[in-house]
Amino acid sequence: MPTIHIESQKKDIAPRVLMPGDPNRAFYIAKNYLENARLVNKVRGELAFTGKYKGVDVTIFSSGMGIGSMGIYSYELFNDYNVESIIRIGTAGSYDPELKVYDILLADSVYSKTYFDEEAGHENIEIINTSFELNSTIMDTALLKGMKVKQGRVHTTEAFYTENKDYSKFIELGCKAVEMETYALMYNAKKFMKKATALLTISDNLITHEEIDSESREKKLNEMIVLALESIIKK
């Protein structure tokens, strides 16, 4: 049965899901990489497509922006649609001058100082590890394809525009980059004992001030997309 946020039937959603934040990126991936892709959700403009990648069913489902939106969709996908594995594919801002634009970062853990955990489950968890099994598959796949992927902790923030430009606290906590969704995904994966991780392309460096434009964020992340697809079909 559909949920209040997803109109799909259970059969419409594959057990393996890639989650970009942007609906346009979901459309781009489905159009360019999936065979026989069909639209399975358009509620609230969050697009989802299911098709085959190398003969394996995969769903591309946009999460929207922020902890709240990712929290809703990943919860319902895990709980109501029996999804087993989710890889978030998105962009992040680097805290590390050596982590440059277009570099790929695989999250091995995520830090956030948020009330999401307390309100969602009466818990207080600031750091959550990502799926070791998924990460191992991604790193092995990257090695086979000759792709360079770095691993590290990501910081999930609830505020995109911030006046505090002192990132030293997050760097001291081991965070390599900042984004807005991974914590909620990992919290729900932990809750439902499912596999999840985040594969992120660096879109800007907060130390060196390099950045890529919005069109590139939508359409020029192909190396990350291919790596995620090649990895998710193995799980």
**Active-site residue among 57, 117, 204, 213?**
204
Q: Say how far apart CA 168 and CA 184 lie, in whole Å.
A: 23
Confidence band, pLDDT 50/70/90 cuts, at residue 218 = low
pLDDT value, residue 141: 98
Q: For the purposes of burial, counting CB atoms within 10 Å of the CB of 60, is it exposed (0-12), middle (13-18) or buried (19 or more)?
A: buried
pLDDT value, residue 110: 98
pLDDT value, residue 228: 98
**CATH number of the structural domain 10-232:** 3.40.50.1580
Distances (CA, A) of 104 to 15, 137, 221: 25, 15, 9
Retrieve residue 167's tokens: 């990132």
Report which residue type is found at 179.
E
List the chain domain ranges.
Answer: 10-232
What would the pLDDT profile of 175-186 be if each residue is shown by its tens digit?
Answer: 999 999 999 999
pTM for the full predicted model? 0.95
Q: Is the pLDDT of residue 215 over 90?
A: no
Report which residue type is found at 134.
L
What is the mean predicted confidence (pLDDT) over 92-103? 94
The count of other CB atoms within 10 Å of the CB of residue 207 is 15
Confidence band, pLDDT 50/70/90 cuts, at residue 235 = confident
Strand positions, DSSP E, the chain: 16-19, 35-41, 48-53, 56-61, 85-94, 104-111, 127-129, 149-156, 175-179, 195-205
pLDDT value, residue 47: 97
Q: Strand, coil or helix: what is 89?
A: strand
Closest CA to 67 of 110, 17, 123, 6: 110
- By DSSP bridging, strand 127-129 and strand 35-41 are unpaired
Task: Look up 204 and say whether it is catalytic.
Answer: yes
What would the pLDDT profile of 120-146 be if each residue is shown by its tens digit?
Answer: 888 889 999 999 999 999 999 999 999
